[in-house]
Amino acid sequence: MLHGKTIVLGVTGGIAAYKGVELLRLLTKAGADVHVIMTRSAQEFVTPLTFQTLSHNPVHTELFNLIAEQEIGHISLADRADLFVIAPATANVIGKLANGIADDMLTTTVMATRAPVLLAPAMNVNMYRNPMYQENEERLRRYGYLFVNAVKGELACGWEGEGKLQSPEIIFEEAVTALTPSDLVAERLLITAGPTREEIDPVRYISNYSSGKMGYAIARAARRRGAQVTLVSGPTALPAPWGVTFVPVESAGEMYDAVMARVGESSVVIKAAAVADYRPVARAGEKLKKQGERITLELVKNRDILTELGRNKNGALLVGFAAETTELLANARKKLMEKNVDLLVANDVTEAGAGFSVETNIVRLLHRNGRVEEPGILSKEAVANLILDRVAELRKDKES
Ligand code: PMT
């Protein structure tokens, strides 16, 4: 995801400096080449060796370091960086940057860069609320600096309130977003994901193997690309993606209501959820008792959300999925036409590396003009971005 990207991670002196280590781990795991700059006070909390070991790069601590200068020659970090992230960023360093003070390696390099700068403040609640700090933050925002807001919580100083560093996972998300072209800013995406549960009695239900990974990957990728995203999700074990409006549902009926209530405000609907086609005719109020050797469960058809959306698109672009076990293309083509979708993503869920629960998928993209794309096995994140590339193209076509 971040392969080929150079990120400079600035760490300043606060108790949250240790969380910079976790952020570094996430960035390097995603493939970024990370160069750490630590202020002098940051080194009071965590040693440069920790960052050096995990980044596989020398850690910069001094503005004038003859050995480092020799090693990196004239290639300055400021020029090489695709992104600067300062986490944690103290009131002191934010104050310096807001007022053009460049008196150490970090502030000098930040001021010399043309790359985007993402600041994750962490400080005492009273410092955070101090108008001097607020003014400095406001000024930096005006200059185009990006911020990951501090959150409420128990602070190291003993106070409770705003000023706690946002979690490394969310700072990571914002870093990825800062590096992702915003080609979907004008779009409002409604995405469904996960399975549905159709209750039989208070302790049993009918469901399927959907983990939600495919739909959540689309929601995450769309948000990174600037879209406003609403994710309607059946029950999954996944955390709600950062920055999306999350609507949890249980049954196909609830998913139907949630989608229909929001479709009017959506420019694109992507239906990755594995919705139950049938539900029990009646849900028993009590746990069903064990009976004879056989038991019959009567089922009734659920409304097909996608079919209904296809009947009245209201200007929205519609992307459907097809989960098949045989005759993939023939069945998918039928769904493309019958459900009147603009793009159909077909997967054979019996193929190794495709479909339910796994991290990858093998999809075919069926277009209405008969074109079929077969990108082969990809991570679900890559599949998500491929679908969104096509969504961006189709939306452009629609508008022109
Ligand atoms: O969640 P993962 O573990 O990552 O797995 C991903 C996935 C296999 C669930 C996903 O890739 C996928 O194929 N999703 C669609 C599953 C499905 O229900 O397919 P279907 O062929 O039964 O339905 C066709 C389309 O109609 C789907 O877009 C479905 O959301 C929609 N549908 C189906 C029934 C119904 N009552 N209402 C619907 O809207």
pLDDT digit string, tens, across residues 70-104: 555 345 899 999 999 999 999 999 999 999 999 99
For residue 322, what are the β-bridge partners? Answer: 346
CA of 345 to the centre of ligand 1 (A): 10
Pocket of ligand 1 (CB under 6 A): 194, 210-214, 252, 271-275, 277, 302, 304-306, 320-323, 335, 347, 349, 355-357
For residue 60, what are the β-bridge partners? Answer: 37
CA of 277 to the centre of ligand 1 (A): 10
CA of 306 to the centre of ligand 1 (A): 10
Q: What is the pLDDT, as a whole number, of residue 70?
A: 53
Fold identical between 6-178 and 188-399? Answer: yes
In whole angstroms, what is the distance from residue 135 CA to residue 119 CA?
15
Catalytic residue, candidates 132, 156, 157, 186: 157
- pTM of the predicted model as reported, rounded to 2 decimal places: 0.94
Query: Do 51 and 28 contact (CB within 8 A), yes or no?
Result: no
Q: What is the pLDDT, as a whole number, of residue 73?
A: 39
Residue 220 backbone phi and psi in degrees, to 5: -65, -45
Ranges of the chain with pLDDT below 50: 73-74
360-367 and 372-373 strand pairing: antiparallel
Ligand 1 atom at minimum distance from 214 CA: 4
* Helices and strands (DSSP H and E) totals, the chain: 14, 20
In the chain, where the domains are located? 6-178, 188-399
Q: Top-level CATH class of 188-399?
A: alpha beta
Residue 130 backbone phi and psi in degrees, to 5: -55, 130
Handedness of CA 232, 236, 3, 144 (dihedral sign): positive
Alpha helical stretches, state H, the chain = 17-29, 48-55, 66-72, 77-80, 91-98, 105-112, 125-129, 131-142, 168-178, 213-224, 252-262, 305-311, 328-338, 380-399
Task: Out of 271, 339, 341, 348, give the residue to mutate to test ligand 1, the one with the largest number of ligand atoms within 8 Å of its CB.
Answer: 271
Q: What is the pLDDT, as a whole number, of residue 159?
A: 81
Report residue 286 as tokens: 């009590």
Dihedral (Cα; 321, 326, 329, 335), 10-degree rounding: -50
Question: Domain 6-178 falls in which CATH fold?
Answer: Rossmann fold (3.40.50)
CA atoms within 13 A on the CB side of 71: 10
Query: Do 141 and 108 contact (CB within 8 A), yes or no?
Result: no
With a CB cutoff of 8 Å and minimum separation 6, the contacts of 381 are 1, 217, 220, 221
Handedness of CA 202, 208, 211, 214 (dihedral sign): negative
Q: What is the pLDDT, as a whole number, of residue 160?
A: 86
Q: What is the pLDDT, as a whole number, of residue 72?
A: 52
In whole angstroms, what is the distance from residue 241 CA to residue 268 CA?
18
